[in-house]
Structures are given as C-alpha cells and as structure tokens.
Amino acid sequence: MKFIKTKIQDVYIIEPNVFGDHRGYFLESFNLKQFEEHIYPIKFVQDNESKSSKGVLRGLHFQTPPFNQAKLVRCIEGRVMDVAVDVRKGSPTYGEHVAVELSGENKRQLFVPRGFAHGFSVLSDTAVFGYKVDNTYAPEYDYGIRWNDNDLAIDWGLNEEEVLLSEKDKNLTFFKDLDSPFDF
C-alpha cells in the first residue's frame, strides 16, 4: 500500500497494490499493521456501505464528541468526489478541504481523521461506497455543514441542478455559524 500525504495534516490518500490478470484482480483494502506504521493506531468498529445514483450528495457530516469518528472511505463501484473539511479550531488549515476522486477503477481510499466534516457526490450513474469508522453511529451527535457553503468553495464535480440531497442535508448549518467542538 502507498500512503500519500495531502495538504492537510493527518488526511491521507491510500493506494492499494492491485494484482490483476485475465481472471480479475485482488487487492488488500486494509492492513492494520501498515496503517498504524504510516498514520497512527486505530480501532475500526463498524463497516458501512451505501449505494447512490448520479447527483446524490451526502454531507458534509461529522459526529460530535464523545461519538466523533475517523473514517476510511472508498468507492467500490462507480465514481465519487470525496471531500474532507478541517473543522478543528486552531488548526492552520481550519476551513480548508481535500477533494479526491475515488472510483472502482482507481481503487484509492481516503482517510478522514476525527475533527473533519466529510461528504461525497456521485459522478457516475450509480456508486457503491464503503467506509470503516472508529466509533459507532449516534444520531443525536450527528452534525454537519452545508455542501454549497460559499466560504468553503468546494467543487463537487456536479452542476447545482444535478445535486440530490436528503431533507437533513438541505438544512445543515453554514460554516461561519459552526461552533466546532474540535480542537487542533
């Protein structure tokens, strides 16, 4: 596996070694020893998977303490634009984001540490998206930021009229109104 640092501390792109031939391919999607050698010790407790159609945008989400989560995400089938926004007060990159295209073809993953809002948009007809988390889901601690916040200026790879949102995501707060529970 290749661990690639991004412009934001602790956010990594992970590229697995893919072994393919006429039968298909094999890859190791997670290796705890390698992960801990390159990033830091972690204990993932849950795996999640979603399937979405083109234009679906999920995010930007995070859970507040004590249920904050780190995520290791990947697109198993299709293509998504995956985004992590630094919401750690005092961070030199507070309010900045990393946006990476993840796909079933490139097999890349993104590690999103605690203290980041996360979201993705579906660029292909459909996408199957998987993620590991290091804390359980707690809906009463679920929070988020609007996807189209002008202060964040995120390019989701979609035209605004293509975007499909949940009712919850339509009503998330703006970044300037965020009272972040995370410190750097």
Choice among 12, 61, 97, 118 that is catalytic: 61
Choice among 12, 97, 131, 143 that is catalytic: 131
HSE-CB of 9 using CA atoms within 13 angstroms: 9
pTM of the model: 0.95
Question: Is there a catalytic annotation at residue 131?
Answer: yes
Digits of tens for pLDDT over the chain (184 positions)? Answer: 999 999 999 999 999 999 999 999 999 999 999 999 999 999 999 999 999 999 999 999 999 999 999 999 999 999 999 999 999 999 999 999 999 999 999 999 999 999 999 999 999 999 999 999 999 999 999 999 999 999 999 999 999 999 999 999 999 999 999 999 999 9
- Domain extents for the chain? 2-183
Question: Is there a catalytic annotation at residue 38?
Answer: no
CATH topology of domain 2-183: Jelly Rolls (2.60.120)
